[in-house]
């Protein structure tokens, strides 16, 4: 990491302390003081969801668990993969007494949860301090009046995850066993839990929007409260020192804003191959100039633009060679086993010739985005709502509800300032026949699209990836195709040149999308080539439930490479296509169609995969710039 950004990883625990996932969980809003609460908690299953009535909130629990790993995972120490209707956590926490130096009696202790699946209630010393619904987004409890510096308190968490509840589940199986492309469930705490002290009037998460055309950053600075005489100062740095600094009054607006312009001689753009990041320090000061609150962050100067059917990064055509990343690990499920594992997934994608990823059907830990920012890896931010339907029971209980939009807005707030994100995908593979009556799914699709555009006008938004495109003004159009024959795949994709690109339809041919209107187009899922040499040998030519992929399994690695090359060249050779997304980075449980094995080891010649993708690298920008 560049010297001017090393402060973004403050120490987590005293030297020698064994804390799982000890790294700072929120690298775009860093404060010096914090306490990681990962580790051993008391734990108990509550299969009847009667724990409150049976007194579980007020007594010790029967077992233990290692937080932040879900009880279904091996690393949690529990490893129970059955349906878990409700689970309970309990831990005593001592708030550091020295935190009183932050603001004396006005010191507020914040209790943060990175993610709890799915419906959480939190008590501290028997006082309810938070409720949150949604398994993918963070939430915070302000413990002021309940816990102060020097206090020892008991934190109790109940997480409900009923199997028949309508909720966004991503790829979590809705029946007992893993099947096809549905994986082991996640219940309860699955991201870092931590404390930090702040003054009563403090900074919320800054919102940073880059503007390449004006070499500037617009910074919105939300506050919890205003005080007479308060000001906020934003200072931009690079490896040579201070680049620019601007201040704004903080006593009259709950969200003061300013623009910080980068001098011409200090302008460096962020992008693949050159992911330059500026340091960003935000300071809240009182009328006497004394420091009240401060956070450290960073920013990348990067733009995304739509020019006809082209998507441009920093004004230049850049073919997006994306890979589908599900973000699962065999021993820890949706939680990365370590921070290094997050980095390694990005490195594996780059080594295979991809320049980015669709972060598929889960909201990834924020540290993944931090590493994507550092390493210059393009990503599309996505919600975990695979197969949502507006009709019947298709979608396995992932029916649209108000919590979809609520959770998605929380995600947009968390992730807005990451330069690696170049597009938003609020919905994935929605299923609904096109007819003349609006449904709840139409409302949710349009609502999530409009919410995304209002929250972030700076990035393209696709209304739904694959299947039901129901927002005429969606910025991007796409399709999913797992056709395995390159010649048939080419015929499928030929319609783009005529303004009638391939679209997903029902098996019977029923349309699900409103007409295409010339937007940028890409195939956001293709390939999924079924190949695992060990499983193929064990099956002895017979497909088995232990191994699954799309279409007919290839006979050997040579056939894999021939098929991968044939399918990929169809897309690389189309000047009207702005990118693609190959399924997928790794095998995941029984779904064995990854470029790598589930344990991230190599199972095929990755150099050949890279060579196919990079064969047009020298000419792709010129070709697409002419479109």
How many residues does the structure list for the chain? Answer: 627
Rounded alpha-carbon distances, angstroms, from residue 167 to 41, 105, 405, 407, 448? 27, 41, 11, 11, 15
Q: What is 3-196's CATH number?
A: 2.60.120.260
- Give the pLDDT confidence score for residue 179 in this predicted structure: 87
Rounded alpha-carbon distances, angstroms, from residue 344 to 363, 426, 528, 532? 18, 26, 21, 21
The Cα 128–Cα 70 span in angstroms is 23
- Give the pLDDT confidence score for residue 541 in this predicted structure: 53
**β-strand 231-238 against 216-220: which pairing, if any?**
unpaired
| H or E element in which residue 282 lies | strand 278-285
Best CA proximity match to 587, nearest among 543, 559, 546, 541? 546
The highest-level CATH class for domain 304-625 is alpha beta
* Concatenated DSSP letters of 540-580: TT---TT-B-BSSPPSSHHHHHHHHHHHHHHHHT-TTEEEE
Cis (ω within 30 of 0) for the bond into 312? Answer: no
Contact (CB, 8 A) for 242 and 261: no
Best CA proximity match to 311, nearest among 217, 414, 380? 380
Rounded alpha-carbon distances, angstroms, from residue 112 to 138, 141, 567? 7, 7, 45
- Give the pLDDT confidence score for residue 393 in this predicted structure: 47
Q: What is 207-299's CATH number?
A: 2.60.40.10
Rounded alpha-carbon distances, angstroms, from residue 342 to 73, 130, 439, 594? 17, 29, 39, 17
| Residues lower than pLDDT 50 in the chain | 15-16, 392-395, 618-619, 623-627
The Cα 464–Cα 424 span in angstroms is 10
- Give the pLDDT confidence score for residue 507 in this predicted structure: 80
- Give the pLDDT confidence score for residue 394 in this predicted structure: 44
Burial grade of 595 (CB within 10 A; 0-12, 13-18, 19 or more): buried
The Cα 44–Cα 65 span in angstroms is 9
Contact (CB, 8 A) for 242 and 226: no
- Where residue 333 falls (left for φ over 0; alpha for ψ -120 to 50; beta otherwise) is left
The Cα 467–Cα 464 span in angstroms is 7
* Concatenated DSSP letters of 18-87: --SS-S-S-TTSB-S--EE--EEEEEEE-TTS-TTTTTGGGS--SEEEEETS-TTSTTTT----S--SEE
DSSP category for residue 401: -
The Cα 439–Cα 471 span in angstroms is 13
The Cα 9–Cα 429 span in angstroms is 37
Structure tokens at 59: 């007594």
| Structural domain spans, the chain | 3-196, 207-299, 304-625
| Segment 41-75, tens digit of pLDDT | 999 999 999 999 999 999 999 999 999 999 999 99
- Give the pLDDT confidence score for residue 402 in this predicted structure: 85
């Amino acid at each position: 990491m560049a010297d001017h950004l090393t402060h973004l990883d403050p120490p987590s625990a005293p030297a020698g302390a064994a804390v799982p996932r000890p790294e700072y969980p929120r690298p775009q809003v860093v404060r010096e003081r914090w306490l990681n609460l990962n580790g051993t908690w008391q734990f108990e299953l509550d299969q009847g969801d009667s724990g409150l009535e049976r007194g579980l909130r007020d007594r010790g629990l029967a077992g233990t668990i290692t937080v932040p790993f879900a009880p279904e995972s091996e690393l949690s120490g529990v490893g129970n993969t059955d349906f878990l209707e409700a689970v309970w956590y309990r831990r005593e926490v001592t708030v550091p007494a020295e935190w009183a130096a932050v603001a004396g009696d006005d010191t507020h202790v914040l209790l943060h949860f990175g993610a709890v699946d799915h419906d959480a209630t939190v008590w501290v010393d028997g006082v309810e301090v938070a409720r949150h619904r949604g398994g993918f987004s963070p939430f915070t409890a302000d413990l002021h009046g309940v816990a102060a510096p020097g206090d020892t308190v008991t934190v109790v968490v109940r997480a409900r995850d009923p199997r028949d509840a309508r909720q966004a589940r991503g790829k979590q199986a809705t029946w007992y066993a893993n099947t096809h492309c549905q994986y082991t469930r996640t219940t309860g705490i699955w991201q870092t839990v931590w404390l930090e002290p702040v003054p009563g009037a403090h900074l919320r998460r800054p919102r940073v929007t880059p503007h390449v055309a004006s070499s500037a950053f617009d910074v919105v600075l939300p506050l919890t409260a205003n005080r007479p005489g308060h000001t906020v100062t934003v200072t931009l740095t690079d490896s040579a020192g201070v680049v620019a600094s601007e201040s704004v009054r903080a006593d009259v607006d709950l969200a003061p804003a300013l623009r910080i312009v980068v001098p011409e001689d200090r302008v460096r753009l962020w992008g693949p191959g050159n992911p330059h990041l500026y340091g960003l320090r935000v300071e809240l000061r009182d009328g006497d100039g004394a420091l009240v609150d401060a956070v450290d962050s960073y920013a990348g100067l990067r733009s995304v633009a739509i020019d006809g059917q082209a998507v441009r990064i920093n004004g230049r055509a850049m073919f997006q060679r994306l890979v589908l990343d599900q973000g699962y690990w065999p021993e820890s499920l949706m939680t990365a086993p370590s921070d290094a594992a997050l980095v390694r997934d990005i490195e594996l994608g780059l080594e295979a010739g991809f320049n980015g990823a669709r972060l598929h059907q889960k909201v990834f830990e924020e540290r993944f985005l931090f590493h994507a920012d550092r390493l210059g890896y393009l990503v599309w931010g996505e919600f975990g709502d695979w197969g949502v339907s507006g009709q019947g029971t298709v979608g396995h209980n992932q029916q649209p509800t108000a919590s979809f939009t609520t959770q998605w807005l929380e995600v947009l707030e968390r992730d807005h300032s990451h330069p690696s994100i170049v597009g938003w995908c609020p919905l994935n593979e929605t299923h609904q026949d096109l007819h003349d009556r609006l449904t709840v799914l139409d409302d949710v699709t349009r609502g999530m699209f409009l919410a995304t555009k209002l929250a972030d006008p700076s990035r393209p938004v696709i209304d739904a990836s694959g299947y039901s495109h129901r927002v005429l003004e969606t910025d991007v159009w796409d399709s999913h195709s797992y056709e395995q024959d390159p010649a048939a795949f080419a015929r499928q994709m030929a319609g783009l040149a005529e303004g009638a690109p391939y679209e997903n339809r029902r098996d019977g041919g029923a349309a699900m999308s409103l007409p295409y209107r010339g937007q940028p187009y890409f195939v956001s899922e293709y390939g999924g080539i079924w190949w695992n040499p060990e499983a193929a040998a064990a099956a002895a030519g017979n497909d088995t439930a232990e191994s699954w992929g799309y279409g007919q399994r290839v006979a050997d690695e040579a056939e894999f490479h021939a098929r991968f090359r044939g399918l990929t060249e169809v897309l690389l050779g189309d000047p009207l296509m702005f990118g693609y997304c190959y399924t997928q980075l790794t095998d995941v449980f029984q779904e064995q169609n990854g470029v790598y094995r589930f344990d991230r080891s190599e199972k095929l010649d990755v150099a050949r995969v890279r060579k196919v993708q990079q064969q047009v690298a020298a000419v792709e920008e010129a070709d697409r710039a002419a479109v």
